[in-house]
Amino acid sequence: MTAPRPDTPPAAASPGPVRFSPGRALADMDPRVKLAAALCLGPIIWRLDPGATVLSTLALALLAFLTAPGSSFGPAALRGNAVFVLLWAAAKALFDIWGGVAPPTALTESAVFGARLLCLICLGLVLAASTSPRQMGAALSYALTPVLGRRAWKAALALALLVHNLPLAWTAGAAIRRTMRLRCPDLPFSRKPGLFATALLRAVSLTAYDRTMAVAARNLDRPEAWRPVFVHPWRGALPCALAVALAAVLVWLESALGYAPAVGM
C-alpha cells in the first residue's frame, strides 16, 4: 500500500470516514505503551479476586477475539489456547484432589487458576496480534537502551524473532496435527506426542536458515536497524494508564478488605 503524496489534499487522501475498529485502534497505539501496559497488567491480573478475574478474562478474551483472527495467529490460536488452559486446570484439580484437598475446593481453585491463566494468554495474544515483531523489538530496544546501551539491539532482535516465530510454529503445528489425523488415524495415543514433537522441531529447524538469511538481507543484525522510531509517539498512553490504574485499585481494595488470593500452581 503506497503512502499518499505530500501534496495530496486531505479530502483526497481519505475519501470517506474510517469506521472505528478495536483491532485498528490497538494496532495504531505506540508499541512502548502496549508493552509497558502488558508488563504491568500481568502481575496485577494474577492478584485479582475471582470476580475481577472473570471480568478481566472476558474483556481480554473479547479483545483477543477481535484482534487475533485478523493477524498471523488466526482463530486457531484462540481455540488451541483455550484447550490448553482447560487441560492444565483439569490437571491441577486432579493433583489437588489426589493431594487431599476437598473436591469442591479443588475445583473452585482450579477454575480461578484457569481463568487467570487464560486472561494472561489473551493479554499476550492481544499484544502479539496488534504489534508487529519489528515494533515490539523497537519498543524493547527503547526500554533497554539506558541499561544496556548499544547492546540493546540484541535483545530487541531476539524478541522480534521470538514473536515472529510463534505464529509460524503454530501454523506448522496445526498442519502436523491435520496430517497425523489424515495419514495416521490408527496411531496409538502414546506415540502421538513424540511424533508431533519430532515433526514440529524438524519443521521449525528447516526454516532457520531462511530466517537467518532474511535477517541479514534486511540488515536487522546491526544496531542501526533497531534505533527506535515511532510513528505515533505515546498514542494510547491514557487508556492504557487508566486500565492499569483501575486494576491496581482493585488489588488495593481487595488487600484493604482482607481478601488474600491463592496463588496456585
Taking only the tens place, the pLDDT of each residue in 144-164 is 888 888 888 888 888 888 887
- pTM summary value: 0.75
Distance of CA 169 to the CA centre of its chain: 14
Tens of pLDDT, residues 18-40: 566 666 778 788 888 988 999 99
Most confident of 16-20, 118-122, 186-190: 118-122
Of the candidates 68, 107, 104, the residue with the CA atom closest to the CA atom of residue 91 = 107
Q: How many CA atoms lie within 13 A of 212 on its CB side?
A: 6
Q: Tell whether the torsion through CA atoms of 40, 46, 49 and 53 is positive or negative.
A: positive
Weakest mean pLDDT among 13-22, 186-195, 201-210: 13-22
135, 155, 240 from 229: Cα distances, Å: 9, 17, 20
For residue 16, pLDDT over 70 is answered with no
H-helix or E-strand spanning residue 227: none
Is residue 263 domain-resident?
no
pLDDT at 15 over 70: no
Domain of 234 in residue numbering reads as 30-252
pLDDT: which is higher, 89 or 23: 89
Residue 87 forms part of a structural domain:
yes
pLDDT of residue 86: 92
Q: How far apart, in whole angstroms, are the C-alpha atoms of residue 60 and residue 45?
A: 11
User: Could you identify the residue written with the cell 473452585?
Assistant: 108
Per-residue model confidence as pLDDT tens digits over 226-265: 777 777 788 888 888 888 888 888 888 777 766 555 545 4
The verdict on residue 167 lying in a domain is: yes
Tell me the one-letter amino acid at 191. Answer: R
Q: How many domains does the chain have?
A: 1
* Residue 108 identity: T
56: which DSSP letter? H
